[in-house]
Amino acid sequence: MSMRNPFPSDLTDKQWVLVEPVITAWKARHPSVSGHQGKYKMREIVNAILYQNRTGCQWQFLPHDLPPPGAVKYHFHLWRDDGTDQTIHDLMRWQLREKKRRLADPSLVAMDTQSIHAAVGVPADTTGKDAAKGVPGRKRCLVVDVLGLIIAIAVLPASAHDNAAGITLLDGVAEQTDTVTKALVDQGFKKSVVDHGARLGIDVEIVERNPTDQGFVPQAKRWIVEQTNGILMFYRRLVRDYEHRLTSSRSRVYWAMTSVMARRLTDAALPSWRTA
C-alpha cells in the first residue's frame, strides 16, 4: 500500500490478494518494449477506478494522490476491451459462491432491466427513451443468481424492448455457462423470450404479479435482482450513465460488483453514502 491516507473505496491487503493474480498475469502478457515496469502501481490504478465508481467524479477530478487521470483511463479502457474486468469479476463470483457452499455456476437465475438517465454529452445514437417508464437514456439489463451475483450484463438504449434485452441476456448466459436451466422474469418479457430460452435449453418463467398488490411488492426469488439493482445505486457513477460507449457502462457494473464481492469475501464493510 502507498503511504497516502487510504480512501474508503480502496482495496485492503486481503482484497488486493484476490485481484492481484489476474493483474500480474495481464502485466506479464503486456511487457513494455523498453522493459520499464511502469510508473504507477497497478493496485493504485485499480483503487482509482474503484474510487471513481463509488464517488461518480469526472476523470479530471480524481484526487492528486491517485495516479493521473490519463493513466487510469488508459488501463480502464484496456481492461474493458480485453475482458480483464470481467475475468476479475467472474473469478471473484466463483470464489464467493464456493464460500456460500454452492457450485461455481448456478442452475436458477433471475433477469430484469432498469432504465437509467443518460448524462449530457452521451452520444444520442446509443441512447433512447423507455416508452413505458418515460426515462431517456439507457437500459441496464442483469441476470443474477440466487445470491444476487451477476451472471450476465447487457446495456442497451432505453428504447430497446424488454424482449430484445431478454434475448441478449439469455445469449450472454449461454456463453457463460451451460448449467442454467431456469430463468425467472417479470411480465415485461414476452413469448419471444420464452421461446428463445427454450432453444437454449433454459425454461423462462414469467412470474405473474398478484393483481391485488398495491405499489412495489417483492416477488419470491425474483426480488434478488431488485436488490442487486439497489446495491449498484450505492456506486454514484452508475446512478446516471455517463459513458460514451455501451461497453464502458458494462465495465462499470463489473467493477462495482467486484468491489461488493471483495468485501463479502473478506468480511469487510463499506459505509453507505448516508453514513455520517
The string of pLDDT tens digits covering residues 152-200 is: 999 999 999 999 999 999 999 999 999 999 999 988 889 999 999 999 9
Least confident of 111-120, 137-146, 183-192, 207-216: 207-216
The structural domain count of the chain equals 1
Domain that holds residue 172: 105-243
Can you spell out the DSSP letters for 39-89? SS-HHHHHHHHHHHHHH---GGGS-TTSPPHHHHHHHHHHHHHHTHHHHHH
- pTM for this entry: 0.92
Mean of pLDDT values over 254-258 = 98
Residue 261 maps to a domain: no
Residue 27 maps to a domain: no
- pLDDT over threshold 70, residue 249: yes
pLDDT for residue 58: 95
Scan for cell 464502458, then name that residue. Answer: 248
Q: Grid coordinates standing for 95?
A: 470464489
Residue 235 maps to a domain: yes
Residue 71 maps to a domain: no
β-pair type (182-185, 203-206): parallel
Residue 237 maps to a domain: yes
Q: With residue 7 as reference, give the H or E element that holds it.
A: none
Q: Grid coordinates standing for 191?
A: 413469448
Q: How many Cβ atoms are within 10 Å of 217's Cβ, its own excluded?
A: 10
Q: 83 near 42, Cβ under 8 Å?
A: no
Residue 133 maps to a domain: yes
- pLDDT over threshold 70, residue 46: yes
Report the b/e string of 95-130 with b at 16+ CB within 10 A: bbbeeeebeebbeebbbbbbbbebeeebeeebbbeb
Residue 80 maps to a domain: no
- pLDDT over threshold 90, residue 47: yes
Residue 131 maps to a domain: yes
CATH number of the domain enclosing 170: 3.30.420.10
